[in-house]
Amino acid sequence: MVERITTKKLTDFPWLNLFNSTRILKDGSPVNWIFASRKKKQTKKEKNKPDAVIIIPVIDERFPYNDAQEGDYYLIMTKEYRIPIQQYEIGFPAGLIEKGDTIEETAHKELLEETGYKIKKITHISPITYSSAGMTDESVVFVFCEVDGTPGKQNTEKYEDIEVLLLSQDDLVDFEKLGHFCSKAYAIVHMAKKCGIGTLL
């Protein structure tokens, strides 16, 4: 039984900070936990707002090249260099929700910037989920969407190194060979492999 929790901010950076929470248990003993957070301060109200979106973009048939047939689906993923692991990671387009922006606005903006593709229709938005609750309180929502099959130009930041991957159902047969996967992306791609990319819409 936890009687009270106090939290102290340890760093002061724009996008990510460290906090130390002390739990005082019923027997009076303290338990300390260091974690990372996207927030400036810890409040219960802020915990109800997601920090970021992860976008699951699917192109529904009528793809203008690559000999696509009616009924074919394509999954858009990204291969992005990640400094903490010092290698490329396969995942989905994603981004932080800026102050004043909605989940939908963020999804539209981030997909266009990172891939050059535009959302035609959002089919599902998940409830808030947590990235890795043992080390961070970062919360994300998954935005599943149908995407226009005509690619545009990426508009990434100068520090972003992102390659766009366009995957057919056949490409998913040995998708593990593509490289190192984000844990959140792996489960979705595995499901698409077993059940079909179209089931994600």
Express each pLDDT in 47-63 by its tens digit.
Answer: 578 999 999 999 986 54
124 and 87 in a common domain: yes
152 and 61 in a common domain: yes
Domain count, the chain: 2
Chain position carrying tokens 């976008």 = 55
pLDDT mean across residues, the chain: 90
Residue 176 burial (CB count, 10 A): 14
For the segment 69-97, the average pLDDT, to the nearest whole number, is 91
pLDDT tier at 44 (50, 70, 90 boundaries)? Answer: low
Share of the chain above pLDDT 70, in %: 90
Residue 67 burial (CB count, 10 A): 7
54 and 147 in a common domain: yes
Residue 151 is part of which domain span? 49-200
Query: For the purposes of burial, counting CB atoms within 10 Å of the CB of 46, is it exposed (0-12), middle (13-18) or buried (19 or more)?
Result: middle
Residue 169 burial (CB count, 10 A): 15
132 and 76 in a common domain: yes
Three-state DSSP class for residue 184: helix
177 and 93 in a common domain: yes
User: What are the tens digits of pLDDT across the range 157-199?
Assistant: 888 899 999 999 999 999 999 999 999 999 999 999 999 999 9
More confident residue, 5 or 44: 5
pLDDT at 39: 86
Query: Is it the case that residue 35 has pLDDT exceeding 60?
Result: yes
19 and 113 in a common domain: no
pLDDT tier at 112 (50, 70, 90 boundaries)? Answer: very high
141 and 65 in a common domain: yes
More confident residue, 96 or 15: 96
